[in-house]
Amino acid sequence: MKKIIFLFMLGSIGFSMTAAAQKAISSVHFFDIKDGAMEKNYIASLKEINAIIKEIGFPNNYYRYSKLAASDTNSIYRNCTIGHWTSEKDYKTIHDNPKFKAWATKNKDILLMSNQLYRRFYAAD
């Protein structure tokens, strides 16, 4: 009987995780940073907003920064930030939060770059 209860609980957890994953979205922001100092400021800014997102109660939502290898010859979209969001509702709640808005206003010079491409992706069934 204990095995059946354990398997039922394990199955319930797995189902809820799968359901949550289907609601998840990713935001993808391609851009170019030409300057090493600007890149350092940008990374520090992302660390700050990730801490704010966690502080306001959304620890499973965050941004991650990546860039192309120095040997890659592409001349545009060499940098990328991927946002991981548990749902559209959480994305909206986070972005509407006064602390998020204050961060965005404070960092607008860092966040507004030339050659940008932004998209939101939703899980495909």
The predicted-structure confidence for 9-38, as pLDDT tens digits, reads as follows 434 343 333 344 458 999 999 999 888 888
CATH class of 24-122: alpha beta
88, 23 contact by CB (below 8 A): yes
Strands laid side by side in the 79-85 sheet: 62-67, 79-85, 25-31, 117-122
Where do the domains of the chain lie? 24-122
Name the pTM for this structure: 0.78
Average pLDDT score over residue span 48-60:
97
**In 3D, which of 82, 79, 90, 93 has the Cα closest to residue 121?**
82
Instruction: Give residue 66's pLDDT.
Output: 95
25, 91 contact by CB (below 8 A): yes
Question: What is the three-class DSSP state of 84?
Answer: strand
